[in-house]
Amino acid sequence: MKTHKNPLYPLMGLVGFLFSVTAFAYFVMSWRAIHSREDASPQHAMMDFIDQYGILLLSLELGLLALLTFGIMATDREPPEGSNTPSGKPATNSRSSRKEA
């Protein structure tokens, strides 16, 4: 059986990586703001950018992660490994199809 790779997986990885970088940059910006002194050097351009657009970026990336998660669940039709069930069909011996006696 030929396995199909879902094209949304690499996109999910990229957006997850960008979310991690943005979250870390936002943390560093917040930490520097709390622990800064008056005589500190001027802020880096990236910190200014994160200060202005950080919440928006984090929100957009989180929304994209949610959409990609549901997109992957909707388009992923591969059966579990070791299953004899054809792709995209529910297993006949699944818990939801069993009747309690």
**98 vs 33, residue with greater confidence:** 33
The predicted model gives 34-59 an average pLDDT of 82
Quick check: is 70 in a domain?
yes
Residue 60 lies in a domain: yes
Contacts of 23 (CB under 8 A, 6+ apart): 58
Residue range 49-85, pLDDT digits in tens: 888 999 999 999 999 999 999 999 888 876 656 666 6
pLDDT at 1: 53
Domain count, the chain: 1
Q: Residue 71: inside a domain, yes or no?
A: yes
> Does residue 62 lie in a domain region?
yes
Structural domain that includes position 42: 16-76
In a domain, 47, yes or no: yes
The mean predicted confidence, pLDDT, of the chain is 80
Instruction: Answer yes or no: is 41 within a domain.
Output: yes
Residue 3 lies in a domain: no
> Which DSSP string do the residues of the chain spell out, in sequence order?
------THHHHHHHHHHHHHHHHHHHHHHHHHHHS--TTPPPPPHHHHHHHHHHHHHHHHHHHHHHHHHHHHHHH--PPPTT--SPTTS--TTSGGGPPP-
